[in-house]
Amino acid sequence: MGELHAASRYIGLIALAAGVLEALLLTFVFKRSYDWRAGLASLAVAVIRSFNLLIPVAFALPGAYWLQQHRLVDASSLGVGSWVILFLGVEFLYYWYHRLGHRTRWFWLSHAVHHTPNELNLTTVSRLGWTSKLTGAYAIFTPLALLGFTPESILTAYSLNLSYQFWIHADWFPKLGPLEGILNTPSAHRVHHAANLEYLDANYGGVLLLFDRLFGTYVPERDDLPCRYGLVHPLNTYNPFKIALHQFGPFLRDLGSARSAREVLGYFFAPPGWRPDGNGETTEDLRREAAAGRQQAAVAQQEPAPATAA
């Protein structure tokens, strides 16, 4: 694992240099507005998150060593084919890992951190949650050990998947023509980071959008609907501790208000914004409310104007 940690640091330094270069070019060459304080806040979040490396692989992928020793098949011995299987396996499980990160509040506690920037740029990549390993989110990759892949190779493939995603956080890239809808492109990822109601909960793939298409979560970027980045309720702070932990206060308050085991489970595993009475702010709730508003507006337009006195 020492090699993986060293590679992670090397990739991190490259990402840092690229983020700084992007900031300088956007600010001084292209004269675009750039939130330098937000970029520095992202880097501060990343520095503190680096202590995650102290958490052992066995904790991040519980049972993976045992499963690898008792594997069902040994796909790792297939040469080039083993890397194809590992890539597709990680991509498939990453899709569900990412989707659960948005659709399950327990995992959203950590993943929400990545969606707090109100601008999308290369420093956004550095803004990741501190508690992902502690929530057990990475355990979703553990079944790959049953195919004979070691925990180290699984994490390496996962890291490469994340490395690909670095460049797609640059929001100045144009659409990429025939690659749209196939690869995870900057355009597709702009949609993923958008807080517009029309774009919520879409485009979860890492490198490919194959599984988004299969499971109905692919949404293309619309020319008539610019992306508004950030959370549905924007977080306006540069404090790295508030950025990383802002979801935990409301979560604990909701748990304290729970009146039954069902409500406790709902606050843990239902989508973010869920409320026991059904009047929450999940994506479905917000879309239902918006649809009702449009319907009321349409009815109001059809009603005849009141007659005026002669």
Q: pLDDT exceeding 70 applies to what percent of the chain?
A: 94
Least confident of 76-85, 189-198, 221-230: 76-85
Q: What is the pLDDT of residue 296?
A: 81
What residues pair up with 208 in beta bridges, in sequence order? Answer: 183
Q: What is the pLDDT of residues 77-128, one digit of tens each?
A: 889 999 999 999 999 999 999 999 999 999 999 999 999 999 999 999 999 9
Q: What is the pLDDT of residues 5-43, one digit of tens each?
A: 566 667 778 888 999 999 999 999 999 999 999 999 999
What is the average per-residue pLDDT within 161-179?
97
The whole-number pLDDT of residue 177 equals 97
Mean pLDDT within 188-204: 99
Rounded Cα gap, residues 88 and 69, in angstroms: 22
Answer for the pair 126, 42: CB distance below 8 angstroms, yes or no.
yes
pLDDT confidence tier of residue 60, bands split at 50, 70 and 90: confident
Find the mean pLDDT for residues 239-257.
Answer: 98
Q: What are the angstrom distances between the C-alpha of 179 and each of 71, 89, 134, 185, 207? A: 36, 21, 36, 8, 11
Answer yes or no: is pLDDT of 310 > 60: no
From the CA atom positions of the chain, what is the Rg in Å? 22
Chain Cα centroid distance, residue 285: 20
> pLDDT class for 3, splitting at 50, 70, 90?
low
C-alpha torsion sign, points 231, 116, 248, 105: positive
What CA–CA distances, in Å, run from 85 to 21, 57, 81, 147? 36, 21, 6, 9
User: At residue 4, does pLDDT exceed 60?
Assistant: no
Q: Is the sign of the CA dihedral 296, 297, 299, 305 positive or negative?
A: positive
Residue 57 has pLDDT above 80, yes or no: no
